[in-house]
Amino acid sequence: MSNNIDNNQNNVDITPEVNTGASEKVAMAKPSGQSDTLKKANKNLKRRRAISTFMRYFVLIVVGCIMIYPLVWMVGACFKQNSEIFSSMNPIPIKATLDGFKNAMKSYGGNINIWKAMLNTYSYVIPMVILTVVSSVVTAYGFARFKFIGHNVLFALMMAMLFLPQVVLNVPQYMLFNEFGWIGSDFYLALIVPTAFATETYFIFMLIQFLRNVPKELEESAKIDGCNVFQILIKIIVPMIMPAVVSCALFKFMWSSNDFLGPLLYVNTPAKYPATIFVKLSMDSDAGFDWNRVLATSLISIMPNILVFFAAQNQFIDGISAGGVKG
Amino acid sequence: MNKLKKFGKKNIGFIFIIPWLIGFLVFKLYPFMSSLYYSFTDYNLFAGMTEGFTLQNYKDVFTVPVELTALKTTFKYAFMTVPMKLVFALFIAYILNFKLKGVNLFRTIYYVPSILGGSVAIAVLWKALFNDNGLIRSGFALIGIDAPHFMSDPKWALLMISILRVWQFGSAMVVFLAALKGVSQDLYEAAAIDGASKTRQFFSITLPLITPVVFYNLVTQLVQAFQEFNGPYIITRGGPLGSTTLMSLLVYNNAFTGYDMGKASAQAWVLFVILMIFTMISFWSQKHWVYYADDEN
Amino acid sequence: MKKRFLSAFLATAMLATTLTGCGESEDKTTEATTEKATTEAATDAGSDAGSDDGAADYEECTIKFDWWGGDSRHEATQAAVDAFEAKYPGITVEINFGAWSDWETAKANEYLSGNNPDVQQTNFDWIGKYDADGTTYLDLNTVSDVLDLSQYDQAVLDKCVDVNGGLAGIPVSVTGRTFYWNEATFEKAGLSTPTNLDELMAAGPVFKEKLGDNYYPLVIGEYDRAILVAFYLQAKTGQPIINEKNEVTVTEADFKEGLEFIKSLEDAHVIPTVPYIDGEGADSMDKSQRFINGEYAGIFEWDSSPAKYVSALGDNGDDLVVGNVFPELQSYSKVSLMFSISADTEHPRECAMLLNYLLNDPEGAAIMANERGIPESASAYATLEAAGTINPLSAQAHTEVINSDPLYWNPLFDSKVLKGDTSVYTTVFEQYSYGMDASGSAYDVDKAAADLYKGYQDAVAQ
């Protein structure tokens, strides 16, 4: 449609319906020469524009610095000597040292160290992501494209689950998993198995939103060509909603790798601890308290998440937007 | 036979939701119902159950100081964090919604905390930042202010936990940004011609048009805030004088350190009911302030 | 001192009898037996306390073993397990260990689901909590042919019985609390480390004046305060604060006095207030920068714990010295931790063999060292003493505890009602030090005394 209104008022030689703010009346474009008042008006405008832009940048930069500073400081602190960490606000270490990282590599009696912990994390995060994606896509397809008996009731129930706090379910789920024998399972059963059953309502919701925007024509013609519903799902639907699927996968990856309460309840063996529990463990078990070691351990544990994020930024952002904004 | 076949064909879609249905029944509905059941007993995982139907757990939530305080604290936390977060998110989104150079860079900078924020690593960082020797107090000391003792002052500890969440406004911001982009420029132009100032434009055009998104963010953030666990657990462990003991932490303590499943279930249910009430109020109030594009108005 | 010598003597005597394989005649050739105890007994199959042939008579199996502790304890235990496996090929021990923080939660999960490990390190109060009906832990008397219970003082063993009279766990060590002082800081203030209450009280103002507001002679958390109050009141009444009959032996007025005692310590700048301690955000004192810097110049800890404080001090580790239990206080001692065997184990004999190796066998005991306090096992103690490997600080602390004639300790002292993040000790002492309760209203000594008294009553009512 029309241009972004804020950005193009530098030249008066433009079609008159595009307007600036305030009470300037733009005269018909004159091919040559400008009246004095017009020149002054434009100058005023330019200045106001410049100030506005400057203010925006200023706020963005200041707030941005405040936002990012804790992380920058954290990285710097990992390289500092312990005594130096709290002595100044400067993130750059005066006497850089790798002690923090060296100590972070420590294993607890050979049983578990940061790398093993991270491997543990991904050993269940990846199955969880795959299972979540598959089950969510299947469910979304079912709800979005079909009318079946009980559709509305079940759909409403599903949406209601969005608002069900996990807090209410923790206790009885724990007891249920206990009956199944999944507590302390070596295969993280209590964490993985539920994801095969589309328990993340947010993703189903997001996929359904996305699906609603996909035109049905392709499916119709495929049906005419003789494809059954399963083939339609795999050959047509999935490719079309790929961006949303990728978003789901990325989000699930992030959330699961940050999950603390789940492993806290269901993982009992230190050798099987994931990174989140390990970071807490590294705080508790050593004598003395080396902040540089603790922060280094923390930093390493979130490295994969940072890398994944930077690699897939756009998908993350698109995904979130798709969920929040209809249509 | 024919009727059956027809029924099958008509309802083929049902097959696709079977996994979800199983999940719903086993992992959501059953626990939900049994949690309700346990809340009326005094079931302790090690001592077993002695009393049948009793309202004591529920009474306790509103009378026992520790529990009542946790409830109040959770409210305080939610109503402190969510507005702050949304205001920041909207404010920054508004500023960012501008053809500036490096919009993507800024967007990333604001979004990164959201990605990392829920992690243990960041909670540990927060501990380092806010303790008596930490960065925040040193920073304020530089400009001559004696900042509060966040870790030990009951009046300020909750704020520290809240700031952790508000720092993660990036995700809400991104949603707002997408929504703002969806507001047609024509409207702004028309308003400008009519002489409306920027501020007026914001409140009369922008805000009303993004109310669906505000609503969405409000509800999702509220649900999330009521369930906050990581921050209080790792940073303050319930905090000075229980000032950061949120309901979820209380439930965890009762259930997994005290093994008092009955009590914990009742507490969780109270939280749930209150959350439901707020959600319903939000939903109901929609028609008064949320403007959907396909409405007649 | 006397007690230690006597038990060492008895130990060597008993060791002598077992070495001869019969266990009846008391051979008093101490010299020969002491030597035997310290030299490589690996080749001597009879060194296993128990019958000569018993050691060879076992099944090949895999057993699970878990414990909690710090790094050095893990290393020592793991080495001991490896040595055990080398000595008894065919028995594989799967180990599992972690830090104390949240360990009990994980263990409780195991007790719930019924799959706890064959051999486990257990806390003394777990008998009441998880073995209330006596069916969780195996009665060790049933394997006493392999696990030599005679190395232990019967009085101590009697503390570890379950409700059916069976031995629920074997007490690894007995511990009590005493003071530890940072000598360097006291020197800086021109004082010697305090030996009684008056000296401690006098030290407070001196610290404040000479060293500054941030220096304190002693630092104690909420649980520490509860114990100190117990010591204070026990000195007054001469009885354990909760006696064997599960009765509380003090009155509310007594508690008030105890609390005022704590307040007087705060007022005299002897101890920092809870808000001040909390401000740092340290999870425990060995993680506190202020302790590491020497600003907190004293702690009140178990005799089995100095190691982690010493290593926290790093290069200044030598500054930590043991203090006595003040004459104005009356201490108690308790079983610090135990080893138990799961009642559901399929290999009780092999489990008992493992325990015997770790606790009594000179070889195993030497490797285990005193990572779990001064061992109660006579043979273990003798081994360590002869090799000179007993941590001197621990030994000294243990001596101080024993010298203070400790009283009986009732596990209800640590019941969930009283001890825990949101339990009575924490809330009462925290609120009293803050001067207000969670809702902001004033919290004075009367309220504190009432709540503390009620807490104790609730605990014994269970």
CATH of the domain at B164: 1.10.3720.10
Q: Does B148 touch chain C (CB under 8 A)?
A: no
Q: What pairing do the DSSP bridges indicate for beta strands C91-98 and C61-68?
A: parallel
Could you report the per-residue pLDDT of B249-290, keeping only the tens digit for each? Answer: 999 888 887 788 889 999 999 988 888 888 888 888 877 777
Q: Is the model's pLDDT at A34 over the cut of 70?
A: no
Please indicate whether, in this complex, the C-beta atoms of C70 and A110 are within 8 angstroms of each other. Answer: no
Which residues of chain B lie closer than 8 angstroms to C415, CB-CB? Answer: none
Please report whether residue B234 resides in a domain: yes
**Does residue A192 share a domain with residue A306?**
yes
Average pLDDT value for residue range A271-286: 80
Instruction: Give Cβ neighbours of residue B135 (< 8 Å, ≥ 6 apart).
Output: A70, A73, A86, A89, B128, B129
Average pLDDT value for residue range A237-263: 87
pLDDT: is B181 or C123 the higher one? C123
Region of A22 (left: φ > 0; alpha: ψ -120 to 50; beta: rest) is left
Burial of residue A216 (CB within 10 Å: 0-12, 13-18, 19+) is exposed
Rounded Cα distance between A199 and A252, Å, is: 12
Helix (H) or strand (E) holding C387: helix C378-387
Please report whether residue A276 resides in a domain: yes
Q: Is the model's pLDDT at A241 over the cut of 80?
A: yes
Digitized pLDDT (tens) for each residue of chain C, 462 residues in all = 444 443 333 333 333 333 333 333 333 333 333 333 333 333 333 334 444 434 567 888 999 999 988 777 888 898 999 999 999 998 999 888 877 767 887 788 778 777 788 999 999 888 888 888 888 899 999 998 888 898 898 888 888 888 888 899 999 989 999 999 999 999 999 999 999 999 999 999 999 999 999 999 999 999 999 999 999 999 999 999 998 888 999 999 999 999 999 999 999 999 999 999 988 888 788 888 899 889 999 999 988 878 888 888 888 888 999 999 999 999 999 998 899 999 989 999 999 999 999 999 888 888 888 888 888 888 888 888 888 888 888 889 999 998 888 998 988 898 888 988 778 999 899 999 999 887 778 899 999 999 999 999 999 987
**Does residue A110 share a domain with residue A243?**
yes
Average pLDDT value for residue range A34-52: 81
Q: Is the model's pLDDT at A13 over the cut of 70?
A: no
Could you report the per-residue pLDDT of A198-225, keeping only the tens digit for each? Answer: 888 888 988 888 888 788 888 888 888 8
Q: Is the model's pLDDT at A231 over the cut of 70?
A: yes
* C140 close to C169: Cβ distance less than 8 angstroms: yes
Closest CA to A249 of A129, A121, A137: A129
Please report whether residue A46 resides in a domain: yes
Structure tokens at A56: 């925006």
Quick count: other Cβ atoms within 10 Å of Cβ C457?
Answer: 12
The residue among B67, B136, B152, B241 with the most chain C CBs within 10 A of its CB, best to mutate, is B241
Q: Does A283 touch chain C (CB under 8 A)?
A: yes
Residue the block writes with tokens 């930590």: C320
Rounded Cα distance between A107 and A110, Å, is: 5
Please report whether residue B270 resides in a domain: yes
Please report whether residue A92 resides in a domain: no
- B-chain residue closest to C440, CA distance: B154
**Does residue A71 share a domain with residue A109?**
no
Please indicate whether, in this complex, the C-beta atoms of A287 and C283 are within 8 angstroms of each other. Answer: no
- Domain range spanning residue B229? 57-289
Please indicate whether, in this complex, the C-beta atoms of C70 and A289 are within 8 angstroms of each other. Answer: no
Provide the pLDDT for residue C8: 38
Diameter over CA atoms, chain C = 71
Radius of gyration of chain B (CA): 24
Q: Does B261 touch chain A (CB under 8 A)?
A: yes
- Domain range spanning residue A56? 1-78
Please report whether residue B9 resides in a domain: no
Provide the pLDDT for residue A32: 55
pLDDT classification of A100: cutoffs 50, 70, 90: confident
Report in angstroms the alpha-carbon separations of A97 from A77, A78, A79, A195: 10, 8, 5, 43
Provide the pLDDT for residue A4: 36
The set of chains that have 3 or more CB pairs under 8 A with B is A, C
CATH of the domain at A252: 1.10.3720.10
Above pLDDT 90, what percent of chain B? 21
**Does residue A223 share a domain with residue A117?**
yes
Instruction: Give Cβ neighbours of residue C19 (< 8 Å, ≥ 6 apart).
Output: C33, C36, C44, C46, C47
Could you report the per-residue pLDDT of B60-100, keeping only the tens digit for each? Answer: 889 888 888 899 999 999 999 999 999 999 988 888 887 77
**Total beta-carbon pairs less than 8 A apart between chain A and chain C:** 76
Closest CA to A74 of B141, B137, B231, B124: B124
Interface confidence: ipTM more than 0.85: no
Could you report the per-residue pLDDT of B7-66, keeping only the tens digit for each? Answer: 877 788 888 899 999 999 999 999 999 999 999 988 887 777 787 788 989 998 898 888
Split into its structural domains, chain B has a count of 1
Rounded Cα distance between C129 and B46, Å, is: 8
CA distance C284 to chain A (A): 9
Please report whether residue A66 resides in a domain: yes
Q: Does B65 touch chain C (CB under 8 A)?
A: yes
* B257 close to C417: Cβ distance less than 8 angstroms: no
- B-chain residue closest to C424, CA distance: B66
The residue among C66, C71, C94, C110 with the most chain A CBs within 10 A of its CB, best to mutate, is C71
Please report whether residue B153 resides in a domain: yes
Please indicate whether, in this complex, the C-beta atoms of A284 and C308 are within 8 angstroms of each other. Answer: no
Query: Residues 2 to 21 of B: which have CB under 8 A from any A CB?
Result: 10-17, 19-21
Please report whether residue A90 resides in a domain: no
Split into its structural domains, chain A has a count of 2
Please indicate whether, in this complex, the C-beta atoms of C280 and B243 are within 8 angstroms of each other. Answer: no
Provide the pLDDT for residue A287: 57
Please report whether residue B67 resides in a domain: yes
Rounded Cα distance between C7 and C173, Å, is: 14
Q: Which domains does chain C have, with CATH numbers?
A: 59-175+335-403 (3.40.190.10), 176-333+406-461 (3.40.190.10)
Instruction: Give Cβ neighbours of residue C156 (< 8 Å, ≥ 6 apart).
Output: C171, C174, C335, C376
- Annotate B257-287 with b (16+ C-beta within 10 A) or e (fewer): bbbbbbbbbbbbbbbbebbeebbeeeeeeee
Structure tokens at C392: 């001197």
Please indicate whether, in this complex, the C-beta atoms of C112 and B45 are within 8 angstroms of each other. Answer: yes
Provide the pLDDT for residue C17: 34
Give the DSSP per-residue string, C184-200: HHHHHTT-PPP-SHHHH
**Does residue A299 share a domain with residue A186?**
yes
- B-chain residue closest to C434, CA distance: B241
SS3 (DSSP) at C312: helix
Q: Does C103 touch chain B (CB under 8 A)?
A: no
Closest CA to C266 of C205, C190, C187: C205
Cα torsion angle, C271, C276, C280, C281, sign: positive
**Does residue A175 share a domain with residue A60?**
no
Average pLDDT value for residue range B179-208: 80
Average pLDDT value for residue range B98-117: 82
Average pLDDT value for residue range A272-288: 78
